[in-house]
């Protein structure tokens, strides 16, 4: 449910630290990432150099306390960073988002002290890349329905993991992965298991990708965010020490969902960043491009587009801010912010689709050409309606919570 208004702080405070971060990230993103974005999109190469630089700036572990190698900042800092990086290049912001939200948060919130030190520090500092693996070839939206299995060995020292996971962002380069798999080896691999049974038997594991039994499958050829490498991962008798269970056996589904709530705020910010880039390009073009003897921005049909684009972006920003407030409150006082996160992601991803489409339309033929970034923004925005929960799943989550249904 949406947090009670009276219990919620009414505003976000933009501190001097946030201002400094914003200026530094904007400058870095425009100077170092924007100029190479088209090239990496074309080649589909993973931008390891700039990812390492984001790490050096503290951006790969923004909300991670400094003692574990992070920047020790808050959700607003994360959102401001995501918007600026996505504005320069959505692929970079995808890598950043998974590293921060889906990898570091899970260990920070559910890990032991020893796990935090060993598993967060190298990834939050950007020396290594982190990933999160929930999806399987036969289960995407229905995340609780898994075929992969982890079986405890006789000595009780290791879980032996077998199975395939798919659509794992950053997997081709990830050094460490938070993996979700079933620990109920007695259960058949059936898609029709009782739902409660499957959810209660999913466990999160910390996986070191340099160990035997781990391999990478095919890299997905994608429509957008082409420089953020995505692949299958394969477990073939991978022996995972019992110390690498995250948050307790059978707690995996809740960990996966809790982490996704935070991730969805990040994807909302990514969508807003892509939309802002497209919108700002459209403003410039509408002022400069002339048709029928006047700038096209002087015509009401273009003005209507500009007004609707701007209004949707600002409405999305307000939903993101509401979600940030709800998350910060939940982190200090408990509770969930699932609905706020889903509303922000749903609205911003659909706003990004609208804004990138209209911005391309305002550019006419030039928008369709690869000589301008509009077609890239249009392609990159598309994924935000799919990953970390499709728009259909966000609507289901919001409605179920509002109706009090499961
Ligand atoms: N926080 C904490 N716990 C939660 C939760 C949340 N947000 N949502 C559900 N749970 C808990 C429930 O309370 C319930 O617990 P109990 O059994 O103790 O009551 C349990 O989890 C099961 O909940 P549901 O019955 O609601 O589960 P469901 O099977 O109906 O599924 C769902 C819910 C929301 C549809 C979920 O499956 C879902 O989010 N699907 C989409 C998956 C997704 O986003 N995948 C993207 C993967 S990451 C990615 O995109 C790639 C990348 O690398 C970027």
What are the start-end ranges of the H helices in 289-371?
Answer: 300-333, 338-363, 365-368
Own/partner pairs for 73-76, CB < 8 Å, 24+ apart?
73/17, 73/18, 73/21, 74/328, 75/262, 75/265, 75/324, 75/327, 75/328, 76/12, 76/14, 76/18, 76/324
pLDDT-derived band of residue 1, with 50, 70 and 90 as boundaries?
Answer: very low
CA of residue 210 to ligand 1 center, whole Å: 29
Output the average pLDDT for the chain: 95
pLDDT at residue number 236: 98
Question: How far is C-alpha 12 from the chain's CA centre?
Answer: 22
pLDDT exceeding 90 applies to what percent of the chain?
92
Question: Three-state SS for 226?
Answer: coil
Full set of structural domains in the chain with CATH: 5-128 (1.10.540.10), 131-252 (2.40.110.10), 256-403 (1.20.140.10)
To the query of whether residue 45 is one of the catalytic residues in this protein, the response is no
CA of residue 181 to ligand 1 center, whole Å: 14
> How far apart, in whole angstroms, are the C-alpha atoms of residue 261 and residue 348?
15
**331 φ/ψ angles, rounded to the nearest 5 degrees:** -65, -30
Q: Is the pLDDT of residue 114 over 70?
A: yes
pLDDT at residue number 3: 47
Q: Is the pLDDT of residue 6 over 80?
A: no
| Nearest CA, atom 40, ligand 1 | 141
Instruction: Please tell me if the CB atom of residue 167 comes closer than 6 angstroms to any atom of ligand 1.
Output: yes
pLDDT at residue number 11: 73
What is the bridge-based pairing of β-strands 158-169 and 149-152?
A: antiparallel
Instruction: Please tell me if the CB atom of residue 235 comes closer than 6 angstroms to any atom of ligand 1.
Output: no
Q: What is the mean pLDDT of residues 30-51?
A: 97
- Residue-by-residue DSSP string for 110-125: H--HHHIIIIIHHHHT
The residue written with tokens 């690498």 in the block is 244
- Ligand 1 atom closest to Cα of 387? 50
Q: Which pLDDT tens digit goes with each residue over 173-220?
A: 999 999 999 997 656 655 566 666 778 899 999 999 999 999 999 999
**140 φ/ψ angles, rounded to the nearest 5 degrees:** -115, -80
Q: Which pLDDT tens digit goes with each residue over 28-39?
A: 999 999 999 999
- Ligand 1 atom closest to Cα of 134? 47
The residue written with tokens 């900042």 in the block is 73
């Amino acid at each position: 449910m949406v947090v009670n208004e009276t219990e919620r702080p009414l505003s976000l405070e933009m501190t001097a630290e946030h201002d400094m971060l914003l200026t530094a990230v904007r400058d870095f993103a425009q100077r170092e990432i924007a100029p190479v974005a088209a090239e990496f999109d074309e080649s589909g190469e993973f931008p390891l150099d700039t990812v390492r630089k984001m790490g050096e700036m503290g951006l790969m572990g923004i909300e991670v306390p400094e003692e574990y190698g992070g920047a020790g900042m808050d959700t607003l800092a994360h959102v401001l960073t995501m918007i600026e990086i996505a504005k320069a290049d959505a692929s970079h912001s995808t890598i950043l988002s998974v590293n921060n939200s889906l990898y570091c948060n899970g260990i920070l919130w559910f890990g032991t002290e020893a796990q935090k030190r060993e598993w967060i520090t190298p990834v939050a500092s950007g020396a290594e890349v982190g990933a999160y693996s929930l999806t399987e070839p036969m289960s995407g939206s229905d995340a609780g329905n898994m075929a992969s299995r982890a079986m405890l060995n006789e000595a009780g020292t290791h879980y032996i993991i077998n199975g395939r996971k798919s659509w794992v962002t950053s997997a081709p380069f990830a050094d460490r992965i938070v993996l979700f798999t079933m620990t109920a080896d007695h259960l058949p691999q059936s898609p029709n298991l009782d739902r409660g049974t499957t959810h209660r038997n999913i466990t999160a594991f910390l996986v070191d990708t340099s160990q035997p039994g781990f391999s990478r499958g095919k890299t997905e050829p994608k429509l957008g965010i082409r420089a953020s490498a995505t692949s299958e991962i394969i477990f073939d008798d991978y022996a995972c020490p019992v110390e690498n269970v995250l948050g307790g056996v059978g707690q995996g589904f809740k960990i996966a969902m809790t982490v996704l709530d935070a991730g969805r705020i990040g994807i909302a910010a990514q969508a807003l960043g892509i939309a802002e880039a497209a919108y700002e390009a459209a403003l410039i073009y509408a002022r400069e491009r002339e048709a029928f003897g006047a700038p096209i921005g002087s015509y009401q049909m273009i003005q209507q587009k500009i007004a609707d684009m701007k209004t949707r972006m600002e409405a999305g920003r307000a939903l993101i801010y509401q979600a940030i407030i709800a998350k910060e409150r939940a982190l200090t006082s408990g509770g969930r912010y699932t609905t706020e996160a889903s509303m922000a992601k749903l609205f911003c991803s659909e706003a990004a689709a609208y804004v990138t489409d209209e911005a391309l339309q305002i550019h006419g033929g030039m928008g369709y050409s690869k000589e301008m970034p509009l077609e890239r923004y249009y392609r990159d925005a598309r994924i935000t309606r799919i990953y970390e929960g499709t728009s259909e799943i966000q609507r289901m989550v919001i409605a179920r919570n509002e109706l009090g249904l499961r």
